[in-house]
Structure 1
Amino acid sequence: MSKSASRARLADIIRTRSFGRGEITLASGRKSDFYFNLKPTMLDPEGAALLAELTYETLRDEKVDYVGGLEMGAVPLAGAIAQLSWLKNHPISAFFVRKKPKEHGARLSVEGLAKGESLAGKRCVIVEDVTTTGGSAIKAVEAVKESGAEIVLVLTMVDREEGATEAFAAAGLPFRSLYKASEFLNV
């Protein structure tokens, strides 16, 4: 399937499985009359494959060591990208950032790394399912930077176009999205 056909098919899946109308309170605290819940798309076999494919294609020419982001939205996405990158013979490892470190065990903020493995000096991409203001992704960025990593890109699947671009620019972080909310609202 061509990239444009994959993108069109994924948009159809998102529209069917993950987009809705109705009043909702977003993670940012804002109210909205539309929403995206990408988990049904990320956990659908075809949706997961297409998200991984399009994301991998976006990252392929970047020199990326790791991909990850804030739990819960980034977890299925990072795993799918890591798996596809292995199949493409260009492995990109995955991690996720806890919203709050567990109060038992290793008490880690960044999970998914083997004992002795570190993000220090590694080039990382922060992924997110849906971005509104950028606040959640910036939490992940801060935790990953504290681990010594370099953030090369913040990549969201859907940008709600409500301030994230400006927030990432102000923070000096490159930002891209696979889709804009307006692509679903203006159909």
Structure 2
Amino acid sequence: MLNREEILKIFTDTEAMLTGHFRLTSGKHSDRYFQCAQVLQYPRYCEILCRELAERYQGTKIDTVIGPAMGGITISYEVARILGARSLFTERENGLMTLRRGFTIQPGEKILVVEDVITTGGSVMEVIKLVRSAGGDVVGAGVLVDRSNGQVDLGVRTEALLVTSVVTYEPEDCPLCKEGIPAVKPGSRKA
């Protein structure tokens, strides 16, 4: 098993952990941002991290791994490959999380939901709701980075490789905004 320092080193070496002034998907602001695409662009690191996540679910029956686009696609594929499962991803259509591209979930199908980073857990909770509405059985959630310091309750067993506390601010209370530092939105969705 990788320890915290080894995981942090991977994120640091790949410049996936950024500092500055960021507007998060949740709408909140922060002085740190995890851009997991930076680490996932290296297949060797992607495999190392996803293997670590998959090993935490060894012995659990998993038919399918699913993650929200964009952050969860590569993780879903790699974790599914390691587990010998099927890989799916969800997309937003008219603001709603959906299955597209002919993807279906069978009643009772054992599904692991994965994501790159959670702050509020909103996207993962939307995927869990979608899976359940299709009749799937969510066996757990796996994330590379939990920015909530373990405070987000997804309602299922949750495994995170890196659990960290990152300060977030409501925009109106953000000290970086008050200093006049422009906020950037490095993620995949527009706020």
Fold match by TM threshold 0.5: yes
Distance 1:82 1:166 in 2: 24
1:142 counterpart (129, 138, 162): 129
Q: Find the counterpart in structure 2 of residue 94 from structure 1.
A: 87
Tell me: CA distance 1:112–1:165, structure 2 relative to 1, closer, same or farther (3 Å).
farther
SS of the residue aligned with 2:77? helix
| 1:130-175 Cα deviation digits (max 9, x unpaired) | 000111111111111121101111111100016x63442xxx3222
Amino acid aligned to 1:131: I
Equivalent residue for 1:78, pick from 76, 79, 85: 76
CA distance in 2, matches of 1:9, 1:100: 37
CA distance, structure 2, for counterparts of residue 135 and residue 173 of structure 1: 14
Give secondary structure in 2 for the equivalent of 1:54: helix
Where in structure 1 are there 5+ consecutive unaligned residues?
86-90, 102-107
Indicate whether 1:34 and 2:32 are aligned.
yes
Cα distance in 2, alignment partners of residues 111 and 50 from structure 1: 29
- Identity %, equivalent residues: 25
| Equivalent residue, structure 2, for 1:14 | 11
Question: Does 1:178 find its partner at 2:172?
Answer: no
Cα distance, 1:43 vs. partner? 2.1
Partner of 1:109: 98
AA of the residue aligned to 1:40: Q
Larger helix percent: 1
In structure 2, distance between residues paired with 1:14 and 1:48:
11
**Higher RCO (CA 8 Å, separation ≥ 6 residues):** 2
| 3-state SS in 1 of match to 2:61 | coil
Over 3 Å counting, the alpha-carbon distance change for 1:45 and 1:8 in structure 2 is farther
TM value normalised by structure 1: 0.77
Given candidates 124, 134, 148, the residue that maps to 1:161 is 148
Check the 8 A contact 1:43/1:76 in 2, yes or no.
Answer: no
Gaps of 5+ in 2: 167-191
CA contact 1:110–1:144 (8 Å) conserved in 2: no
Contact 1:67-1:124 at 8 Å conserved across structures: yes
Deviations 1:39-88 (A, max 9, x none): 11112122111122101101112111111111101100111112223xxx
Structure 1 residue corresponding to 2:114, chosen from 94, 107, 127: 127
RMSD over aligned CA atoms reads 2.5
Q: Which residue of 1 aligns with 2:105?
A: 118
